[in-house]
Amino acid sequence: MIYLEDLEIGQETYFGSYEVTREEVIDFARKYDPQPFHLSDEAAAKTHFGRLAASGWHSCAMTMAVIARHVVNTEQAGLGSPGVDELRWLKPVYPGDTLHVSSTIVEVRPSRSKPKIGSFRSATTVTNQNGEPVLSFTSIVLMQRRPEDEAQPEA
């Protein structure tokens, strides 16, 4: 299990990738963000997108899918998140893109009021297949601290 004490400022993590499909872009838009440029090639062609583009919220959801799979597979002692800061959609995401998700830890802090938990902040960047940033945010994650009866793993 990975606990708060196992994290270090500057630590980088590559979470994985996600292939964006046309069908998923349209399905997400129908359900959650039914703006014409997320639903129709013709409508999107008349905008600065130039072609069908994924909703920014869909880009966030795809990013979360990649992060959540990694967290579950690496058995982290995560406790969820109170939110994100500085969310930016930097470039459109299009069907056919492959998103790559990575982050760098910028802060690790034990809780003052709850000694069994703490939090960390990480700068998260999502790039497309060309290495161009398409999304960025600072995540805030709550995490369990190592139980006193559990030994620290050796390096």
In a domain, 122, yes or no: yes
Which one, of 64, 74, 49, 62, lies nearest residue 18 by Cα?
Answer: 62
Phi, psi (5° rounding) for residue 32? -125, -20
Q: Which CATH number is 46's domain given?
A: 3.10.129.10
List pLDDT tens digits, range 10-33. Answer: 999 999 999 999 999 999 999 999
In a domain, 102, yes or no: yes
In a domain, 82, yes or no: yes
Q: What domain count does the chain have? A: 1
Give dist(CA 39, CA 97) in Å, integer: 17
List pLDDT tens digits, range 85-136. Answer: 999 999 999 999 999 999 999 999 999 999 999 999 999 999 999 999 999 9
Q: Identify the domain containing residue 98 by its residue range.
A: 4-144
In a domain, 27, yes or no: yes
Reduced 3-state DSSP string for 100-114:
EEEEEEEEEEECCCC
In a domain, 151, yes or no: no
pTM of this prediction? 0.91
